[in-house]
Amino acid sequence: MAKSKARTNKPLDRDYFKYKDRPKPKNAKDLTPCCNQDVDHEVLNVRVKSDWELIEDHIEDKLREYSDTESITPVSCKKCGRLLNYVSVLKDPKSKGGWFNQT
Ligand SMILES: [Zn+2]
């Protein structure tokens, strides 16, 4: 009788089912080699046109909402284009050079 591989008293997670019928790689999680992201984690990709439009919309919304934000950079992986982070640059309050600061 074949020995059961049942993992009793162990949580059965997605990985358990993913690797049920094939050997699990040494790395517990599949990470992208270029930016170390979990491949199962679906993220926006700047190279996908529809994703890029979502990113643009998001940034436009934020710029409208936060008037002290100068710009927002969508930081993405240079290799695969996965969106990793947003970096905001705030306006420097000391260097007000606009119409509103003229005396
Ligand atoms: Zn990448």
Q: What is the pLDDT of residues 40-77, one digit of tens each?
A: 888 899 999 999 999 999 999 999 999 999 999 999 99
Determine the 3-state secondary structure of 36 from DSSP.
Answer: coil
> How much is the pTM?
0.61
Residue 6 lies inside a defined structural domain of this protein? no
Q: Is the CB of residue 51 less than 8 Å from the CB of residue 45?
A: yes
Indicate whether 10 belongs to any domain: no
CA of 40 to the centre of ligand 1 (A): 13
Q: Which two tokens stand for residue 99?
A: 């119409």
Total domains in the fold of the chain: 1
pLDDT at position 89 is 92
Ligand 1 centroid – CA 49 distance (Å):
17
Domain carrying residue 38 = 29-93
| Å from CA of 84 to ligand 1 middle | 9
Residue 5 lies in a domain: no
Q: Is residue 18 in some structural domain?
A: no
- Asked if residue 59 belongs to a domain, the reply is yes
1 CA to middle of ligand 1, Å? 46
Query: Cα separation of 58 and 74, whole Å?
Result: 10
Mean pLDDT, the chain, rounded, equals: 83
- From the CA of 43, how far away is ligand 1's center (Å)? 11
51 within domain boundaries: yes
How many angstroms does the Cα of residue 51 sit away from the middle of ligand 1?
15
User: Does a structural domain hold residue 49?
Assistant: yes
Asked whether residue 60 is domain-assigned, the answer is yes
